[in-house]
Structure 1
Amino acid sequence: MGQAIAAVLNQNGLKTIAALDDRSERTRQLAAAANIQDVGSLTQLVIESDLVLSVLVPAAAAEVAKQVAEVISNVGKQILYVDGNAIAPQKVKRITQLIESSGATFVDASIIGPPPRVSGRTRIYASGKQANELQQLQNYGLDIRVIGDEVGQASGLKMSYAALTKGLTAISTELLIAAHRLGLDEQLWNEVSSSQPELAAILTRSIPSMTPKAHRWIGEMEEIAETFKAVGLTERTFYGAADVYRLVKDTSLGKETPEERNRKSASHTLREGPLSEIITILSDETAPN
């Protein structure tokens, strides 16, 4: 996601940089492919930036914000920090306090849709008193939509939306594995294809593309659980969804990179065949002893 956002900004005339010290070779290759310049350290990144956009796995959001806040305090530079991570509103508010105490300004953002490689498919929602500053990136190829001046609104929208999309993928993955183990996968899929053709089409796309991302979605489900708990709803549904993604993460499919999965998916026709194969692998590799 970060690579694709940077590529759009680069193509529209902005310079993007990243602090790639201690990052993986894959991350370095993705950055180079998008024309993102490696400045090495977070200190150098803050020195050279006007805006820092944090797009990470949810578990890393708070720690990276803490590190950046320390650098901002030491450097003494006025900067805009945008948290675009899939995290609970209450966590975003804690990060806001951390960033603003360093002297920087803060915007809460949420990214809905795929990486913005195709125009019109990705929205970045923003909230907070400085959200209009982020909206200036609309002039550089991104779809930025300000929805309010309260930090937590953008993240709350992301949590609610991802609960639908990624929650549905988790539930569907689990029930398809269950049907496979009951010897009813063909009968179930025939029924879904017949009575719920729109759902069948969604699952045929979403489950194959989910497997290499499952490790990232564990934390996202946990953030949704905490979001729902904070508003008086049960957190159990999405801790269960996190368990499904935890199961997928440890399979051979979960260990693939998105690039590997895309290459394999491209070699199939978009029918139930590839999905059936994926469910069989997931079922066999996670079967109890």
Structure 2
Amino acid sequence: MPIQTIGILSPGDMGQAIAAVLNQNGLKTIAALDNRSERTRQLAAVANIQDVGSLTQLVIESDVVLSVLVPEAANLVAEVISNISKPILYVDCNAIAPQKVISISQLIESVGGTFVDASIIGPPPRVPNRTRIYASGKQASQLLQLRDHGLDVRVIGDEIGQASGLKMTYAALTKGLTAIGTELLIAAHRLGLDKQLWDEVSSSQQELASILTRSIPSMTPKAHRWIGEMEEIAETFKELGLTESIFYGAADVYRLVKETSLGKETPEECDRARPLDEIITILSNEAISDT
């Protein structure tokens, strides 16, 4: 089936950037913006995403729906979509556990829809060759059409859960490491040892210092979204007979960041040039655990 119109759920930071790439490369993207925030509407307008109002109209007009949501919304939105009579090619791009993806696929397929499991690795695709979309499932090859429209899509298998499993394990490393780095740097600051620790890390762990210098400043406005992602990773590892405690702890770190002034900024408001030591000082002063 040729793909011409793509429904975006939802045009936040990632969804908006994906839509912009598709629009620039010859496809039409639409979104259901009824009752959405002014920020979401502005993001959609910047990317030339057309507002069709309701989810029902989005499904009616779409050849494929890309679900790019915060993890906790994935199930609820899929349930709403499944109650709309038109069968749809539904691509779940959310950072959720494989067992949850399998459940959503069964829901979509039970009403005649087609389901593809997908995971996004990398930042919003505003710069070419930095973002990959991995796909799995028996119909995953249908998504390869988007390679002709600016997206790096890679099919990795025919089983639902494979793409999501890749996301869970990869994000366990990257975002888990960012959480650990954030907490230990705050601890060092509160001990009055932040300079000494950073001098040592910069000397003996140069690659790690470089990673933390990049990852922590870009994390703070997204911490609220990463809470649910860490919890999904925890559930993934628990299902595999491994400890989930590490990642519930990482979720707690992001929960602390969320409540600070930096965590309340939007990605558009965030000062990407703010030095790491200034970020850690702010977080140290404002992040308080209630446990």
Q: TM-score, normalised by structure 1?
A: 0.94
1-side partners of 2:18 and 2:286: how far apart?
35
Aligned partner of 1:84 in structure 2 is 93
2-side partners of 1:216 and 1:288: how far apart?
19
SS at match of 1:265: coil
Offset at residue 252 of structure 1 (A) = 0.4
Aligned partner of 2:269 in structure 1 is 260
Offset at residue 70 of structure 1 (A) = 0.6
SS at match of 2:268: helix
User: Taking structure 1 as reference, are residues 231 and 51 closer, same or farther at Cα in structure 2, changes over 3 Å only?
Assistant: same
Aligned partner of 1:279 in structure 2 is 280
| More displaced 10-residue stretch of structure 1: 198-207 or 145-154 | 198-207
Aligned partner of 2:10 in structure 1 is none
2-side partners of 1:288 and 1:161: how far apart?
27
1-side partners of 2:135 and 2:243: how far apart?
27
2:255 to 246, 249, 268: 246
1:37 to 50, 55, 60: 50
Correspondence 1:207 to 2:216:
yes
Aligned partner of 2:41 in structure 1 is 28
User: Taking structure 1 as reference, are residues 25 and 234 closer, same or farther at Cα in structure 2, changes over 3 Å only?
Assistant: same
User: Taking structure 1 as reference, are residues 170 and 288 closer, same or farther at Cα in structure 2, changes over 3 Å only?
Assistant: closer
Aligned partner of 2:9 in structure 1 is none
SS at match of 1:251: coil
Correspondence 1:134 to 2:147:
no
Correspondence 1:112 to 2:125:
no
SS at match of 1:258: coil
2:63 to 50, 54, 58: 50
Offset at residue 288 of structure 1 (A) = 6.5
Q: Deviations over 1:77-108 (max 9, x none)?
A: 23200000000000000000110111110000
Unpaired runs of 5+ residues, structure 1, are: 269-273
In the alignment, residue 171 of structure 2 is paired with which amino acid?
A: A
Offset at residue 225 of structure 1 (A) = 0.2
1-side partners of 2:239 and 2:165: how far apart?
11
Correspondence 1:225 to 2:226:
no
8 A Cα contact 2:87 2:111, kept in partner: no
- The total of aligned residue pairs comes to 277
SS at match of 1:256: coil
Correspondence 1:66 to 2:79:
yes
8 A Cα contact 2:221 2:265, kept in partner: yes
Offset at residue 265 of structure 1 (A) = 2.1
Unpaired runs of 5+ residues, structure 2, are: 1-13
Offset at residue 175 of structure 1 (A) = 0.4
2-side partners of 1:68 and 1:53: how far apart?
12
SS at match of 1:260: coil
2-side partners of 1:117 and 1:281: how far apart?
29
User: Taking structure 1 as reference, are residues 288 and 103 closer, same or farther at Cα in structure 2, changes over 3 Å only?
Assistant: closer
2-side partners of 1:83 and 1:93: how far apart?
10
Aligned partner of 1:124 in structure 2 is 133
Alignment of 1:168-187 (within 5 A): 168-187=177-196
1-side partners of 2:97 and 2:88: how far apart?
23
Aligned partner of 1:2 in structure 2 is 15
In the alignment, residue 51 of structure 1 is paired with which amino acid?
A: V
Q: Deviations over 1:157-181 (max 9, x none)?
A: 0000000000000000000011011
1:188 to 188, 197, 204: 197
1-side partners of 2:73 and 2:134: how far apart?
21
User: Taking structure 1 as reference, are residues 226 and 53 closer, same or farther at Cα in structure 2, changes over 3 Å only?
Assistant: same
In the alignment, residue 234 of structure 2 is paired with which amino acid?
A: A
What is the root-mean-square deviation in Å for CA atoms of aligned residues? 1.0
In the alignment, residue 22 of structure 1 is paired with which amino acid?
A: N
Q: Deviations over 1:4-57 (max 9, x none)?
A: 100010001000000011110000000000000000000000110010000000
